[in-house]
């Protein structure tokens, strides 16, 4: 805050008006603009990733369908008899996973809300380094362009699953997607990791250093806690993916044998010996599992804020929420091998990881219970954001519970790599995180664009989405229990998987309708930016600092001094107070009627808080 604040008071005003279009909207260093850039990129990617899933859902639901009408878009990937190419099917599955996990739910979610909310909620003028923040977005942009480009090359994009296990991903002769498509995938992901690290380091630095007066750690909103934990997870685990990718690049291009050994392919024995494909899986999942929490923690953070605000009640168990998130973050690093029970690794390792995995259910359960207790005896306002937040909790619970079965290595023997897994993670991290992101957009839209999104369309969007998501993913568990394997182009070759043709068709129809419902959101989003009703400064009567800014916060966020913080962010419906919310910047001395006994003692400290002097001499 220090330097930015100084800069702002001295000469930032002139600078602000002098910035041209390019510096204000394209190569901007303002965290709010960067957040919007991430959001819009995320939405575009979500549409692309969603459309891909519809194409392979058509294949799975209606294997005999004539897809010739897709020829104008897919060209040669649909053959003469109107059938989707099996390689392209795998490529679609791969790209759908990559796009949704990394580009939508990591960049689109963390990138948007960490950038937007961290400075606004902790009371800072901007991120610790605006320049790094800008770089972070543009690295992401280049990474996006490369990934997008890879869709259009002749041999098709990467097709070995989003987990890109070698040797399939290492040998161009094993799969057409493992040629140029895979190269572009790796380059794109390397840039993505750079972007993610630049962002993550910035988030953590900002939270540690730039909190406003009085914003001690125990007064931070849960959103900020969630973003911080997420950033730490990313900083510690993404470099491991980078090293995994780097070794894979070496194996692919420079003849090394990190992951390759004893391979005979295309009538030739390869010279590689001594490598281990399992090594890649360990490295991949050392990121891959924390990645799941990188996706879900920010969503849970946003939900905490939205549920408390709209229940007009303090979040239940503020400290327990922080400790659960810390517990989840810690455990996230030591459960990765539960993705690998059936890879042939030592069964003893399986036992250890099963134990650790089931422990992680405890903090997750605590979080779910706390949300529900927050609703209890609340005075609940159902904004679209609130509805989506409730939907998130439902998905988190329903999807999380099946994790107890999958985390049990003995039961995983049958269910590993079946549709049970697909159903599980699409509910618990896919749909839940997606709902968190949508809820966040509805809730903070007034602060982002100074306009309100249309409520009625929001309601319709919510109802179509929650019904749709459950109709898609609930029956998928059944298909999984029957043993249907993932990433199958069709199942009819096996007697064992020859049932459920109607259920698969049903899921596909539900998926198409659910995707259609998202277009309502896209329409609402674009419409509201331009023609939405003007918002008030604090439309949801919320306590956190971002709502003390003007309707359209300018560069530096607060026109005058940054507000000082005196209380935690959840003083909703405090007994004795006339209003049902008391923002964080209201001192206890101003609310004698509602103070708790221990809070009256804090009044004396208010002077000290106000007298805190920041050292303005920290070099930028």
Partner 1 sequence: MTLIIGILALLFLVLTVLVIGKTQDLLKSVKGVKEVEDDSEVDGANDWNALGLMVFWVLSVVGVVWSFLDAKKDFLPEASSPHGRETDYWFWVSMAVITVAFFIVNTLLFYFPLRYKYNKNRKATFYPHNNKLEVIWTVIPALVMAGLVFTGLRVWNRVMDDAPEDAEVIEIMGRQFAWAVRYPGVDDNELGNYDYRLMDDAAGNNFGIDFTDPNSFDDFTNGTEMHIPKGKPVLLKIRARDVLHSVFIPHMRVKMDAVPGMPTKFWFVADKSTEDMRAELNNPDFNYEIACTEICGRSHFGMKLLLVVDEPEEYEAWKKEQQPFLSLNPGFVEKVPDNLKARALKYVETEDAEVAMVTEEVEVVE
Q: Is 267 in the site for partner 1 (CB under 8 A)?
A: yes
CB of 65 to partner 1, least distance (A): 15
Q: Is the dihedral of CA 43, 44, 46, 47 positive or negative?
A: positive
Nearer to partner 1, 236 or 481 (CB): 481
Per-residue contact string for residues 74-93; x = within reach of partner 1 by CB under 8 A? ------------xx--x---
Residue 338 has, within 13 A of its CA and on its CB side, a CA count of 30
Q: How many CB atoms lie within 10 A of CB 259?
A: 25
Length of the chain: 620
Q: 213, 132 in Cβ contact below 8 A?
A: no
Q: Is the peptide bond before 387 cis (omega within 30 degrees of 0)?
A: no
Q: Kindly identify the residues of this chain, within the stretch 182-241, that bind partner 1 according to CB under 8 A.
A: none
Nearest partner of 544 among 215, 121, 225, 206, judged by Cα: 121
- The tokens describing 158, both together, are 């990467």
- Residue from the set 96, 211, 252, 313 that interacts with partner 1 by CB under 8 A: 313
SS3 532: coil
- Residue from the set 239, 485, 554, 587 that interacts with partner 1 by CB under 8 A: 485
CB of 325 to partner 1, least distance (A): 14
Nearer to partner 1, 236 or 537 (CB): 537
Q: Kindly identify the residues of this chain, within the stretch 450-469, that bind partner 1 according to CB under 8 A.
A: 452, 454-457, 459-460, 463-464, 466-467
Q: Is 358 in the site for partner 1 (CB under 8 A)?
A: yes
Q: Is 531 in the site for partner 1 (CB under 8 A)?
A: yes
Nearer to partner 1, 123 or 275 (CB): 275
Q: Kindly identify the residues of this chain, within the stretch 389-418, that bind partner 1 according to CB under 8 A.
A: 390, 393-394, 397-398, 401-402, 404-405, 408-411, 413-414, 416-418
CA angle 152, 158, 161 (to 5 degrees): 140
- Residue from the set 269, 597, 611, 619 that interacts with partner 1 by CB under 8 A: 269
Burial status of residue 461 (CB atoms within 10 A of its CB: 0-12, 13-18, 19 or more): buried
Q: Kindly identify the residues of this chain, within the stretch 293-312, that bind partner 1 according to CB under 8 A.
A: 311-312
Q: Is 44 in the site for partner 1 (CB under 8 A)?
A: no
Q: How far is CA 281 from the centre of its chain?
A: 22
Q: Is 540 in the site for partner 1 (CB under 8 A)?
A: yes
- Residue from the set 496, 526, 590, 618 that interacts with partner 1 by CB under 8 A: 496
Window contacting partner 1 (CB under 8 A); options: 182-190, 247-255, 265-273, 432-440 = 265-273
CA dist 363 and 369 (Å) reads 10
CB of 334 to partner 1, least distance (A): 15
Q: Kindly identify the residues of this chain, within the stretch 577-596, that bind partner 1 according to CB under 8 A.
A: 580
Helix (H) or strand (E) holding 165: none
Window contacting partner 1 (CB under 8 A); options: 31-39, 49-57, 331-339, 517-525 = 517-525
Rounded to a whole number, what is the distance in angstroms from the first to the last CA of the chain? 10
Residue 16 has, within 13 A of its CA and on its CB side, a CA count of 15
């Amino acid at each position: 805050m220090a330097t930015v604040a100084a800069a702002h008071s001295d000469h930032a005003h002139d600078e602000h008006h002098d910035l041209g279009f390019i510096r204000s909207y394209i190569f901007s260093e303002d965290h709010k603009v960067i957040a919007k850039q991430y959001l819009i990129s995320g939405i575009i990617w979500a549409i692309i990733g969603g459309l891909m899933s519809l194409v392979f859902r058509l294949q799975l639901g209606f294997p005999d369908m004539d897809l010739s009408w897709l020829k104008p878009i897919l060209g040669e990937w649909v053959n003469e008899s109107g059938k989707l190419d099996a390689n392209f099917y795998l490529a679609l599955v791969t790209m759908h996973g990559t796009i949704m996990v990394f580009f939508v739910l990591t960049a689109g979610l963390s990138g948007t809300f960490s950038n937007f909310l961290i400075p606004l909620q902790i009371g800072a003028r901007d991120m610790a380094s605006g320049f790094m923040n800008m770089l972070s977005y543009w690295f992401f942009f280049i990474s996006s362009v490369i990934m997008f480009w890879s869709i259009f090359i002749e041999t098709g994009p990467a097709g070995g699953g989003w987990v890109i296990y070698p040797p399939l991903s290492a040998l161009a002769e094993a799969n057409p997607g493992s040629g140029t498509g895979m190269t572009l995938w790796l380059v794109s992901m390397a840039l993505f990791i750079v972007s993610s690290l630049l962002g993550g380091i910035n988030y953590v630095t900002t939270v540690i250093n730039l909190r406003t007066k009085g914003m001690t750690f125990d007064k931070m909103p849960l959103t900020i806690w969630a973003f911080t934990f997420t950033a730490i997870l990313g900083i510690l685990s993404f470099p491991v993916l980078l090293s995994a990718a780097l070794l894979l690049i070496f194996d692919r291009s420079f003849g090394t044998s990190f992951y390759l050994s004893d391979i005979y392919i295309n009538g030739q024995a390869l010279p590689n010996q001594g490598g281990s494909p399992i090594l890649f899986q360990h490295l991949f999942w050392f990121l891959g599992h924390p990645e799941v929490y990188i996706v879900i923690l920010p969503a849970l953070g946003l939900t905490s804020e939205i549920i408390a605000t709209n229940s007009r009640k303090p979040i239940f168990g503020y400290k327990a929420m922080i400790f659960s998130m810390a517990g989840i973050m810690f455990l996230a690093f030591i459960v990765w091998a539960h993705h690998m029970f059936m890879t042939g690794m030592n069964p003893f390792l399986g036992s250890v990881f099963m134990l650790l995995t089931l422990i992680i259910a405890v903090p997750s359960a605590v979080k779910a219970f706390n949300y529900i207790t927050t609703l209890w005896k609340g005075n609940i306002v159902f904004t679209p954001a609130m509805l989506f937040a409730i939907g998130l909790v439902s998905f988190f619970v329903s999807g999380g519970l099946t994790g107890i079965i999958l985390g049990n290595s003995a039961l995983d023997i049958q269910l590993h790599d079946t549709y049970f897994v697909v159903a599980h993670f699409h509910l618990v991290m896919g749909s839940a995180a997606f709902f968190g992101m949508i809820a966040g957009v509805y809730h903070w839209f007034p602060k982002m664009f100074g306009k309100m999104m249309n409520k009625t369309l929001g309601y319709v969007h919510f109802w179509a989405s929650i019904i749709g998501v459950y109709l898609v993913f609930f029956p998928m568990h059944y298909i999984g229990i029957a043993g249907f394997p993932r990433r199958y182009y069709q199942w009819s070759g096996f007697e064992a998987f020859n049932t459920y043709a109607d259920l698969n068709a049903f899921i596909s129809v539900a998926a198409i309708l659910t995707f259609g419902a998202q277009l309502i959101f896209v329409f609402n989003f674009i419409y509201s930016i331009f023609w939405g009703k003007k918002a008030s400064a604090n439309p949801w009567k919320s306590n956190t600092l971002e709502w003390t800014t003007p309707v359209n916060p300018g560069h530096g966020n607060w026109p005058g001094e940054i507000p000082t913080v005196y209380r935690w962010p959840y003083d909703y419906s405090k007994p004795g107070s006339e209003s049902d919310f008391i923002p964080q910047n209201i001192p206890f001395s101003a609310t004698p009627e509602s103070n708790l006994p221990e809070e009256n003692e804090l009044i004396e400290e208010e002077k000290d808080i106000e007298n805190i002097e920041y050292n303005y001499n920290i070099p930028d």
